[in-house]
Chain A
Amino acid sequence: MSTIHLPTSGQIRDTIEARPESDSYLTHTRGVLSWIFTLDHKRIGLMYMWSVLGSFLLGGIFALLVRTELLTPGPTITSSADTYNQWFTLHGAIMVFLVIIPSIPAALGNFVLPVMMGAKDVAFPRLNLFSYYLWVTGALCCVLSLAMGGFDTGWTFYTPYSTTTSAGGVIPVLTGAFILGFSSIFTGLNFVVTVHKLRPPGMTWFRMPLFLWAIYATAIIQVLATPVLGITLLLLIVERTVNIGIFNPSMGGDPVLYQHFFWFYSHPAVYIMILPAMGIISDIIAINSHRHIFGYRFIAFSSIAIAMFSFLVWGHHMFTSGQSALMNTLFSAISFSVAIPSAVKVFNWVATLYKGSVSLTTPMWYALAFLFLFTIGGLTGLHLATLNTDVHLHDTYFVVAHFHYVMMGSALIAMVGGLHHWWPKMFGRMYNEKLGTAACFVVFIGFNVTFFTQFMLGAHGMPRRYYDYQPEFQVYHVISTIGSYIMALGFGMTAVCLVSSLFGGKKAPANPWGGRTLEWQCASPPPFDNFAKTPRVADPYDFSVVKWDEKTQGYWVDDAADPEMNPNAPKTAHAHH
């Protein structure tokens, strides 16, 4: 068997057979300290992953508390509106700053990006570890904030409420978010340099896997937008402590200015969340359809287009803020421009299924769920970008539903899909696919029950961030809460599925899904240094040379059959366009 696996010409790859089995990045060194001080991108990626998943659990608990409180109008499980206000604030802040923003780039990206490029690590491994500890420091600040009385400002920290509220934990959490921002900036910086400098021979810009394009576009936004958040939070801290008055109208300041600053970061941040998700989906769909991704260049360019447009649309969060009618008009017009590249991506993904050979693996089910949910999330953006309908819908549950479809139904679902996609690579174990797929279905159903109802709530006029509400809204709230319980059950199943695979899951082959990118060509789990020699690559979406191997129950990449990798190879019928 192994003779077949070794390419007949060209360079030797590290396949699972080429190294002693024990030497993986997980076993290379042992002990807690070997993790705490590791510079290995894979270990840092894993530490991020567990931290992010832990935060997700915490944010999820707050979400369930919020939903349970809303089962009835008036008090349900807490008789204090202030407590409720802290819950939804914590839910939002945790999910945005601690979970979604770092989830794909810092956790999955860290693990996958260098391996995908055949590199041994990111460009700056020390900076990478430092980013992680910044994340930890930021998270500790949030915990400190809770100990000091929490915060009830909403995750948006709008002034003057945030500068005047009596909740004691506002300054620690602002400091925390400030520090988390730097964690994000450094990760972005690292990835930009890595993509520019460490691509392997053969990987031209238009040979990059789309996940790399997406991470690259994201990293650029992280580097350019996050400093604005940093300075804004700093101003808020100064405003709250020494009252400099920049946002305080009684001292000549302007609270609306804060909103401009905040959304100048936070709109692009939406794309920090969704772009990497789109990258994952592109790859999952192509690999599981076992065919070339449709319209590669359109997808790659649309990532960059979205990254650029994302800086020009922040004002669409402020149509009712008192911003001038002219500004509203301009922001509305530009916002629609983001719709086009997003739509183009969706069409390309669907077209990739056409004449493919679709394997319905668990990651693929997540990708299909993403397509469904992102289509709804994206289309309902039209109602909100349109001036006169937004006036009605702004700050209602319609907006809540819309951004949950995008941030949770799309970004987070893609993250969970990616987790399933690369899980065998990370730990060398296969999970139970039946359970994984079933969990995906339960999450999908729970999600729609929870959030589709909220579109109706919002359109009927239910404002967001309400502890108490009119009795006529109750039926929707009850359905939505039931949905959230279903979703919690689904995520519970996912957790069982993944964790149980670590104990007694089948051994994972190097390439369980049939991918052609480099991470599928080193062992599962990868050795400490990924590849002994930097490999050469060809078109990452040409799956004609990916072949099934009965013995390992996995695929392997027959580079020798690719005319580009091996000039002697027989020309296949399949032409490259």
Chain B
Amino acid sequence: MSMTLQTLTHIASGAQAASAFAQAAAGPEPANFWQPVAASTNAAAVDFMWDFINWICYFFFALVVALMVYFVIKYRHRAGTAFRTDYPHHNTPLELTWSILPTILVIAIFWFGFKGYLDVTTAPKNSFEIQVQAQKWAWNFKYPNGAQSDDLYVPANRPVRLVMRSTDVLHSLYIPDFRVKKDVVPGRYSTLWFQCDYPTGAPSEKGPKVDGHHLFCTEYCGTGHSNMNRKVYVLAEADFTQWLSDQSQWLDKIADDELYFKAGPKLFARCQQCHSLDGSAGIGPSWKGIVERVKAYPNVGEGKQYPTFEDYIRTSILVPGEYVVPGYANAMPTFKGQLNDRGIDAVIGFMKHLDEFDPKTGKYLKAAAK
């Protein structure tokens, strides 16, 4: 049944059918007038429903508007003429038809939508599981081997299940190209699954530009809501395994004396939406001159409440509410469980050598000079 309907809609939308043939082997169904790229295994079913409903809409819309325009022109009243009186008051067979026919149609729509939905609610047993934590205003993805990332990396050709939780308010994880979305609710886990068969590759500094899929937050969550977006990269099986092991050890692989400039800018990317390096205030205070400023804090800075500058920074990252910088809201999320000691060391080193980094982007300047 659904096959024949699918064929029907494809015949109806000829252009789309043609492109489907052209692209069948090469990659996902490309974006069209209405929809973005259909990159997940589930997307085809959603787009089929979309087309099916659209054609129903086109038909009824055209019918209503055409009749309306035709009647208005045909039965337009001309000044000075008498009103017509030969009109029907009602017509029971007609009225029953236009009640029953739409009823049958909407039952059909409901049924197909429901079946499509069942497929997206139940994740296959062999799914690869990723823990997702949402907080104002960042995503954190944690993989089974302990690796973490800000962008989402997933293996191709394998179902992926996201187990999501929020530490503050509602968020919602949405990947348009995969046609999946689920709210992330504080106090409970929510899950979502998808499978993508087309690797995008991972971005690298030297390699060609890689376009990942957009990942958005779609539940309003305040100031940074519209910047709470990331990319999804789909990697072929072998690449993904490699990436996973690199990602879990990247901090450890950097030599101690290179830590602050190799890891610092990367970690700063997570702080950048709230902290600047050039002195301009954001959601949080700028890091420019932070070393001197912290020392000067009355009753708090170095040697007072905190024995050292490093202790203060460490506490700020792990327990941000301990000391809230005057003039700022207590809006900094904790990075407990996301930044380990080595990561914190890198950030502290970065702060101590701010003059070696580009104040806009945080890029290491000496690397460019070399």
Contact = CB atoms under 8 A, between A and B. Distances in A.
Interface of A: 81-82, 85, 152, 154, 158, 160-161, 164-166, 249-250, 253-256, 289-292, 294-298, 320-322, 325, 328-329, 332-333, 336-337, 339-340, 343-344, 346-348, 350-351, 353-360, 368, 371-372, 375-376, 379-380, 382-383, 385-392, 394-396, 456, 459-461, 463-470, 543-544, 573-574, 576-577
Contact of A388 (B49, B65, B76): B49
9 contacts: A249-B185, A291-B84, A329-B114, A339-B106, A346-B64, A355-B87, A389-B53, A463-B174, A463-B217
B219 A395 contact: yes
Contacts of A343: 60, 98-99, 102
Interface string B160-173: 00000000111010
Contacts, number: 268
Interface in B106-154: 106-107, 109-110, 112-114, 116-121
B21 interface: no
B186 A355 contact: no
A469 B226 contact: yes
A379 B57 contact: yes
A383 B50 contact: yes
Nearest to B45: A388
B100 to A, nearest CB: 9
Nearest to A461: B176
Interface stretch (B67-75, B294-302, B349-357, B358-366): B67-75
A21 B95 CA distance: 47
Given A332-B113, A386-B49, A353 B179 contact: no
B180 interface: yes
A371 B60 CA distance: 12
B220 A392 contact: no
A179 B36 CA distance: 44
B174 A347 contact: no
B214 interface: yes
Contacts of A329: 114, 117
B206 interface: no
A345 to B, nearest CB: 11
Given A166-B329, A357-B83, A460-B35, A336 B110 contact: yes
B227 to A, nearest CB: 6
Contacts of B110: 332-333, 336, 385-386
B36 to A, nearest CB: 5
A344 B83 contact: no
Contacts of B262: none
A360 B169 CA distance: 52
B243 interface: no
Contact of B88 (A290, A294, A322): A294
A461 B178 CA distance: 10
A382 B109 contact: yes
Contact of B71 (A325, A350, A394): A350
Interface in B206-221: 214, 216-221
A350 B64 contact: yes
Contact of A391 (B60, B89, B114, B179): B179
B90 A389 contact: no
A18 to B, nearest CB: 26
B72 A340 contact: no
Interface string B39-77: 000100110011001101100110011011001100111
A322 to B, nearest CB: 5
Given A379-B57, A382-B56, A459 B182 contact: no
Contacts of A256: 185
B68 A322 contact: no
B201 interface: no
Interface of B: 31, 33-36, 42, 45-46, 49-50, 53-54, 56-57, 60-61, 64-65, 67-68, 71-72, 75-77, 81, 83-91, 94-95, 98-99, 102-103, 106-107, 109-110, 112-114, 116-121, 168-170, 172, 174, 176-177, 179-183, 185-188, 190, 214, 216-227, 229, 329
A360 B223 contact: no
Contacts of A543: 83
Contacts of B181: 320, 391-392, 394-395
A287 to B, nearest CB: 11
A168 to B, nearest CB: 12
Contacts of A165: 222
Contacts of B98: 343-344, 347
Contacts of B95: 295, 298, 344, 347-348
Which of B31, B120, B220, B225 has the most CB atoms of chain A within a 10 A radius of its CB? B220
Given A255-B186, A340-B106, A359-B77, A391 B169 contact: no
A468 B224 CA distance: 9
A232 to B, nearest CB: 16
A357 B172 contact: no
A339 B56 CA distance: 13
Given A295-B95, A388-B113, A389-B113, A358 B174 contact: no
A407 B83 CA distance: 34
Given A344-B95, A344-B99, A357-B83, A391 B68 contact: no
Nearest to B62: A375
B220 to A, nearest CB: 4
B117 A356 contact: no
Given A160-B168, A294-B88, A340-B99, A371 B75 contact: no
Nearest to A329: B114
Nearest to B76: A358
Given A320-B181, A339-B106, A395-B174, A295 B53 contact: no
Given A336-B109, A356-B77, 16 more contacts: A85-B225, A154-B220, A296-B89, A320-B181, A329-B114, A347-B95, A348-B95, A351-B91, A353-B68, A357-B77, A375-B60, A388-B116, A388-B117, A388-B179, A468-B226, A544-B85
B169 A161 contact: yes
Contacts of A253: 187
A340 B77 contact: no
A465 B107 contact: no
A343 to B, nearest CB: 5
B214 A470 contact: yes
A358 B190 contact: no
A566 B41 CA distance: 72
Nearest to B64: A375
A289 B168 CA distance: 57
Nearest to B221: A161
A467 B227 CA distance: 8
A382 B106 contact: yes
B225 to A, nearest CB: 6
A460 B53 contact: no
Nearest to A463: B218
Nearest to A387: B117
A389 B121 CA distance: 13
A160 B170 contact: yes
A298 B96 CA distance: 10
B85 A320 contact: no
B223 A464 contact: no
A82 B75 contact: no
Contact of B223 (A81, A292, A297, A376): A81
Nearest to A391: B181
B57 A360 contact: no
Contacts of B179: 388, 391-392
B226 A467 contact: yes
Given A375-B61, A388-B45, A160 B90 contact: no
A371 B187 contact: no
Which of A332, A376, A456, A461 has the most CB atoms of chain B within a 10 A radius of its CB? A461
Contacts of B107: 336
Which of B67, B112, B222 has the most CB atoms of chain A within a 10 A radius of its CB? B222
A95 B60 CA distance: 30
Contact of A354 (B31, B71, B172, B229): B71
Contacts of A166: 329
